[in-house]
Each structure stands twice: as C-alpha cells, then as structure tokens.
Amino acid sequence: MVSRDECCGFLGARLVPLRMRTPAFSLFAAFFLSITVAGVAAEPTDVLVAERLLTALSTETSDALIEPVRRAKAAVDRAAQLRAIGDGPRATLAEAEARAWAEYANEIAKVSHREAEAAEARTKVQKLAESEKRSRADYEMLSRQVLRLRTEVARVESEPIAPLEKSGPKRAKRKGGH
C-alpha cells in the first residue's frame, strides 16, 4: 500500500504516488518546453526579417527608397559589428532599428506600387470618359438625323396626292358607229 508521504495528488478518485507521477510529469514538461522552444525558434529574428526585406527591395527603383534602405543596411552592419565585439543588448537594438527601417522601406514600396496602379486606373478612366464623350456626340448626331428624316417623312405624307394620269396616246373618238 502507498503511504501518504509518497502521494502528492489526485488523479480522478484515487491517489497517485509520486514515483508514478514523475515520468508523466517529465514527459509533459519536455513536451511543453519543446513546443515553447520550437515556437521561439520559428519566429524570425529582426536581422533576418530586415535582410529578407532588403533583398526583396533590391529590385525597386523608387527614389523614395534610397534613404530608408541605406539606413537599414547601415543598422544591419552596425548590429553585426556590435555582436562581433560582444555587445548583445546594443546589437539587438540595432537589429530592431534595421527591421524598422526595412519595414518602412517596404511600406514605401507598396505605396509606390499602389500609386502607379492608381495612375494607370486614372488613365483608363480618362480614356473611357473620352470614348463616352465621342459616343454621346455620335448619338446626338444620329438623333438629329432621325428627327430630320421623321420630319421629312411627315411632310411628304401630309402633301395631297395628285391623281395619276394615264400614260400613253389619247384615242380619238370615231364618228360613225364603229
């Protein structure tokens, strides 16, 4: 029988001895720690995010990106130098700064693309407006022609119709019976 000293808690309705609970607890703790460590390891660091963004932005040609990209690269370099000399806290701050500048540059690039799309849409709208204006002018011209033709038809229909004369030579009446 298990003594009270060996028991540490309940599992359902019966007491569970400490020696039986320890392996389960150890497995649970190991599982929980592995999930926590995997979650932390899966999250990219500031410097990795900054470098990915800078790589993606390397093909952009916007002048507005020059300064943020330059500052992000400088912060990445500064973070690497600080890590090399063993100044971890300042290196972490420099990495966070690099990430912030890279994200700022990325937002500028997105805005630049949206502005280009908006300009393209405005051009399409202007072309459609011009086309609509031409179509409206054509419609008005055709409406005037239809009105003129209807007026002409009404005028022709309202004129009295002259009886048609028989065509051909007139015959003279004969005297004499035949």
Q: Where are the beta strands (DSSP E) in 75-158?
A: none
Same domain membership, residue 117 and residue 50: yes
Q: Do 57 and 65 meet the contact criterion of CB atoms below 8 Å apart? A: yes
Q: Do 80 and 61 meet the contact criterion of CB atoms below 8 Å apart? A: no
10 is in which domain, residue-wise? 1-43
**149-153 long-range CB contacts below 8 Å, 24 or more apart?**
none
The three-class DSSP label of residue 174 is coil
Same domain membership, residue 58 and residue 125: yes
Low-confidence ranges of the chain (pLDDT < 70): 1-42, 166-178
pLDDT at position 177, please? Answer: 56
Same domain membership, residue 75 and residue 5: no
Q: Do 19 and 6 meet the contact criterion of CB atoms below 8 Å apart? A: yes
pTM, two decimals, is 0.53
pLDDT at position 51, please? Answer: 92
pLDDT at position 159, please? Answer: 83
pLDDT at position 19, please? Answer: 52
- Residue-wise pLDDT for 32-78, tens only, equals 556 655 555 567 899 899 999 999 888 888 888 999 999 999 999 99
Q: d(Cα 156, Cα 30) in Å, to the nearest integer?
A: 104
Same domain membership, residue 31 and residue 49: no
Same domain membership, residue 121 and residue 55: yes
Cβ contacts of residue 61 below 8 Å, gap of 6+? none
pLDDT at position 93, please? Answer: 95
Single out the residue of 67, 76, 77, 74 nearest to residue 104, CA to CA. Answer: 67
Q: d(Cα 76, Cα 97) in Å, to the nearest integer?
A: 8
pLDDT at position 169, please? Answer: 62
Same domain membership, residue 98 and residue 29: no
